[in-house]
Every structure is written in structure tokens, then in C-alpha cells.
Chains A and B, each alone.
Chain A
Amino acid sequence: MFIPLTAFDLSMAAVLVLLLALSSWRMQLNITQQLVIAAIRTTVQLLLIGLVLKTVFTHVDIFWVTVICLVMLSVAGWEILSRQHRKLKGWWGFGVSTGSLFVSSFFITVLALMTIIQADPWYHPQYAIPLLGMLLGNTMTGIALGMDRLVQTAWQQRSSIEQRLMLGQTGHQAINEIRKESMRAGMIPIINSMAAAGIVSLPGMMTGQILAGAPPVEAVKYQILIMFLITAGTGFGVISVLWFISRRLFDNRHRLRFDQLLKTVHSK
């Protein structure tokens, strides 16, 4: 059984957001403007992507699927970058974040589509795009957290790192503890959500499928698949981004090179 939503149904929910905006304005909580803009953005963006997906689903064409996936990938790469306090100079920052998303999310999505889901054809947008979207959305968070932790901690502990270099440690050894800690920071969200899944929280995708009328056990199987893919994607993504940045922080003479970094104002 699937109950379609009408415009009226959505307006009911929108009224709740409006009420919240109104009360926060009355209480001078300084969140009204951001709240309204975000609500409008989500409506417009989602309606647009709905229309795009509708068109793409009717014309199954690998070219358009690739274009959409590449757009998603670069926006996610950009999003990671905008969450960093200090980022690599020039195109390195974008290259590192997008590259790590590519090896994690993109590669794993293709692998899952070809060997696990096996739709016909394997790049069928009905599977490819939602799958990539979910992977990007989640690995993005992990990568952004791991990357930010590495660079921030290295910055705060730069004297210790240099002291270790003075004692004859390699750049790799000198930043080892910080790298471990950053790996943890990047992986904690997905480890937590795996541990809490089904008991504390019902994951969104599974809930969506159940709402759409799918048998619960089928929905659960998909959810487990997605969880594993996200975990692998996040893990490999964080590993590659940490490897890359920790190499970039040192030159070939094992000197700490913070001149490779650009300090930016936190926008979010």
C-alpha cells in the first residue's frame, strides 16, 4: 500500500516550520532567516531533482547517469572543503577531497551495482543515483571530520611534531598518533549508527521503503547492504584522505610545511 502525498499534506508540514520561524523571531533567537532560506532551498532543490530523476529514469542512458554522478561528486567534494578550518592551497584541497570521495563512494557504488544489485542495465539510474547519493552523503561527513581533525590537531601540536622530527623521527612517525585519532573521528559516526540501527534509530532508507509499501525484511536487507557500503566507503575515504594530507604536510626533507595550508573563516 502506498499513499501519495498531496500539496496540502506538504503545506501542513510547512506550517509547522513557519510556526517555528515565527516563534524564533518573536524570541529573537537569530535563526529565523537561516531557517526560512534552508526550508525554501530544500523544497526547490528536491522538487528539481525529482523532475530530473523522472526524466533520467524514463531515458536510461549511461551518459546522463555519468553526468549526474559527476555533478554530485564534485558538489560533495566542495562541501567537504567548505567545512575545513584550514585547507590545502590551490586545487589540492578540492582534488584531495573529491579524489577520496571518488575512490570510496564512486568506486564502491559501481562495485555494488555490478556485482551485488545487478540491475539491468547495471547503471540503471533508479539504483545508481540513490545509491551514490546515500554513499556520498555519509562518506562526506566522515571524510570532512577526519580531514578537519588531522589538520587542526597537527596545527595545534605543531611544536610537538617538530620536536619529534628533531629527534630523528620521519614525518610519518611524527604525525602517527594524530592520524590514528583522526581516523577514529572520521569513523565514529558510522560505527555509532551501525551500533544503534534498529534499536535506537530506524535508518531513513529502510523507513522510506517501508512507507512505500516494501516488505520490512526486504527493506532491512537493503539497509544492511547500504550500511556496509557506507562503512567501507567512509573507511577507505578517510584512509586515503589522511594518507594524502599527512604526506602533503611534510616535504621530502621531512619538514612540517604549514605554508601548504590556507586559513579560512568557518562558514557553517
Chain B
Amino acid sequence: MKKLLIKELYYHHCGPVNLQINAGDCVAVSGVSGSGKSLLLRALADLDEHRGSISLDDILMTDLPAPEWRKKVALLPAESQWWFDTLGEHFPATDNEMIHYFGFPDNVMSWSVSRLSSGEKQRFALLRLLLNKPDVLLLDEPTANLDNTNTLLFEKLIEDYIKVNSACVIWVSHDAQQLSRICNVHYQIENGQLLRQ
């Protein structure tokens, strides 16, 4: 079973954070801008320095090489980055089923990144991330650039992924409706503390 256990986590000016997330959980984290939501996700992905213990299935973060950890505990940032010219170069393998899910044509991998809209980039960023088959998804305002139809498709994809892979998700968003739609546990960050709603 996938279980993310966070004990006495201090990062930046926030903490202590204690949290247990079980397989199948979708945890909502909300809070005002600058309250430390994104920083929490960065700490969980081991991108920033932090104190305290974080473990996945009783394996401590520090016992795994950082790249291995980040493949299991995967962060989708609010704005995705692309460093090669074409989309395909960013994908080690292509999954046609996934491409068709969002309604893209077969030749999409030969598209140049510069012609993608930010919403398209965001959907491809998710597909790219899911290729690593992560156990935990850390989503930072993932649908901010998507229209309604695609937002719902995006949510459905995450829900299915959780079910099929018994994964778990931390979903950071300002959209209270969205959070109540998909998340079963709700937290708010206030003054560096994680408060259960």
C-alpha cells in the first residue's frame, strides 16, 4: 500500500507539519498566496532543504537517491518547462492512449514546443510526469490554464490514475469547488501550520 508519512516537517518558515496520506487519498491543500503551499510540495519532492522525516511505504526519503525519490513522489509545478525544440524529445516513450485522451493527433510528438499554448503544455507536462508511474502526485494548481472541458478531463485522468495504481495525491488549488469535487481530505495552511478542515 502507498502511504506517505510526514513527521515534524519544517521547511522555510513553516512547520511543524504532520500528515499521513493513504493510498487512494486525494488531499486538498489551500491557503492564501505566499502561505507556503508550493514550498510544501517542493520540500516533499526534496527540491528544497527541510528538516523532519518523510517516508513512503516505510522507506525514508533520505534512504533513496534523490532522483529515485522524485520519480516516486512526483511534483507537477504550476508552470511547466520544456528545454528541447520538439515535444517528442521530452518523452522517453510515447503512449498513444494518453495522447488521444486529451484529443491530440498522432503526430503531436513532432510539434515544436513553442507553438503549444500554456494549457496544452500543462496537459503534456502531466502525461510526461505519469510516464514515471509515480506513487504520489504533488499537483500545484494544475488546471489554472485549462478550460472547463479540459479541467474535467484532467481531474478524471487523475482520479483513474489513483484508482488503477492505488496512488495518492496532494492537490494545491485556489478553486474551492474543484477541491470539493475531487478531494476526500481537506487542509488549509495558515501561519505555517497545516490545519484540517
Contact = CB atoms under 8 A, between A and B. Distances in A.
Interface of A: 157, 159-160, 162-170, 177, 253-256
Contacts of B75: 166
Nearest to B131: A167
Overall SS of chain B's interface: loop
A163 B49 contact: no
Interface string B36-66: 0000000001111100000000000000011
Interface of B: 45-49, 65-68, 70-71, 74-75, 77, 79-83, 128-129, 132
B66 A253 contact: yes
Contact of A162 (B47, B68, B128): B47
A60 B59 CA distance: 66
A160 B46 contact: no
A165 B83 contact: no
Contacts of A168: 67-68, 70-71, 74, 132
Given A163-B80, A168-B71, 4 more contacts: A159-B81, A165-B70, A166-B45, A166-B129
B77 A163 contact: yes
A112 B128 CA distance: 52
Given A254-B66, A254-B67, A167 B46 contact: no
B88 to A, nearest CB: 15
Contacts of B67: 165, 168-170, 254
Contacts of B82: 160
A177 B85 CA distance: 13
A171 to B, nearest CB: 9
Contacts of B49: 255
B83 A164 contact: yes
Given A253-B46, A255-B47, A167 B128 contact: yes
A245 B74 CA distance: 27
Contacts of B66: 165, 253-255
A166 B47 contact: yes
A166 B83 contact: no
